[in-house]
Amino acid sequence: MSLLTLPASEFEPGAEGTFALPASIYHSQVMAPGISRTLVVELLQLSPAHAKTLLDGTYHKRETPAMVGGTMVDLALLEPDKFQEGLSHWVVPSGMNLATKEGIAWKKDHPGLPRIRATSDAENTVSVENIHGMIESLMKSPKVRRIIEQGTKQESAFALDPETGLMRKVRSDVRLVDNQSRLVITDLKSTFRGGTSSEAWRKHCARMAYHIQDSFYSHVYQSLTGEMPFFLFIAVERKPPYAVRLFQLDPEGKECGRTRCQIAMYQFRQCIDSGLWPAFNDDIETISLPKWELAAPDPEPIDI
């Protein structure tokens, strides 16, 4: 197994291989076309029509505070030279209320980049203080430190799907070879406080479709190398104590991800060939109200 990460200057749309592409190019369907994990999940969880709006750019997902925080942690850990105020983000002055006249003026003077609090107690908000705490905790782990220091980071990989002929694309956080010369792909995930417990992560993994990511990334790299990689999730909590855990899926979870990825790729092939991207059928569907709404409230006592 040997992979050479080529410079961005050697990338051409439709080319297979691994490239050092800026995120802006990788995420562009014009400059770097291909089926991504995000598109696969959108099709499986919603419909081909929903996936098509992401594919052609008629709809853009809004980043949540947790997603912005995750992106900033990735950048600070994996590309620290790019994590700079004014380049990657703005730091909101301590105590500033962005809804006030002063805050609105500050936002006007600091456009175009994510805004991060210097400190924050909000569960889903990652502050600068949290980012430093997360990185410090991550680098205290000998295994994580080796992954970060020795791996190839933020690599864009492109490979044709052997079953449908469609181009797939992934952007791995870190790729490396372990002590037994085996290919390892890792992805960094920030999570809520307590989210690195086994039970919490098991549910979070299913809810966020991380098994789809595991399968999709793994099979792209298998196509490029002929070797099925080990896929690891590095999970780190956003708040103290910034607990760190490494997870891998069991064979049943991997098979579930593989089956669903295959279904999605065949649907993409059918939609592209037919030009039809269906949402939902026009059958009349009978729905039930959730149990919490159907539960009758206790009658109020009548005071006569």
Return the amino acid letter for 6: L
pLDDT tens for the chain, residues 1 to 304? 568 999 999 999 999 999 999 999 999 999 999 999 999 999 999 999 999 999 999 999 888 888 889 999 999 999 999 999 999 999 999 889 999 999 999 999 999 999 999 999 888 889 999 999 999 999 999 999 999 999 999 999 999 999 999 999 999 999 999 999 999 999 999 999 999 999 999 999 999 999 999 999 999 999 999 999 999 999 999 999 999 999 999 999 999 999 999 999 999 999 999 999 999 888 999 999 999 889 867 667 766 6
Residue 304: predicted pLDDT: 66
Task: Give the residue from 152, 163, 273, 149 showing the smallest Cα distance to 220.
Answer: 163
Quickly tell me which residue has 């789809």 as its tokens: 212
Verdict on whether the full-model pTM lies above 0.85: yes
What SS3 state is found at 116? strand
- Token pair for residue 213? 């990511």
Contacts of 239 (CB under 8 A, 6+ apart): 123, 130, 192, 193
Backbone angles phi, psi at 298, to 5 degrees: -65, 135
3-state secondary structure of 75: helix
Q: For residue 115, give both structure tokens.
A: 């805004």
CATH tag for 5-278 (out of 3.90.1150.10, 3.40.470.10, 3.30.2310.20, 3.90.320.10): 3.90.320.10
